[in-house]
Amino acid sequence: DGGITQSPKYLFRKEGQNVTLSCEQNLNHDAMYWYRQDPGQGLRLIYYSQIVNDFQKGDIAEGYSVSREKKESFPLTVTSAQKNPTAFYLCASRRTGSNEQFFGPGTRLTVL
């Protein structure tokens, strides 16, 4: 089955540690996105990538970094510079020419 996988579903880290969230898709989509969601709020765009080896900052990129070395993978690193990293993180992908984004199941990150 084609789709987007994010692992793990729950992640705990100590304050001051960097952590990398995984996002993999086998839909052969060119574009991929990372969003953050806080309780009771909508999604906010962190980074997005339209093509391999290229990515752009979204609305809240500070304290985050990404890479896009392969078409199917778009890992997100939450650095120690992110002041409030505890949140629900969602990855999405989109086929070029389509307006529909497909979302993964999300990773809930808790920084202790």
The values of phi and psi at residue 31, to 5°, are -95, 140
Evaluate the CA torsion angle 97, 64, 37, 87 in order and state its sign.
positive
**Would you give the binding string for another protein spanning residues 16-55, x where CB under 8 A is met?**
---------------x-x-x----xxxxxx--x-x-----
* 75 belongs to the binding site for another protein (CB under 8 A): no
Three-state secondary structure call for residue 5: strand
* 106 belongs to the binding site for another protein (CB under 8 A): yes
At residue 111's C-alpha, the angle toward residues 110 and 112, to 5°, is 115
Count of residues that bind another protein according to CB under 8 A: 28
Q: Where along the sequence are the contacts to another protein (CB under 8 A)?
A: 4, 31, 33, 35, 40-45, 48, 50, 56, 58-59, 88, 90, 92, 94, 99-106, 108
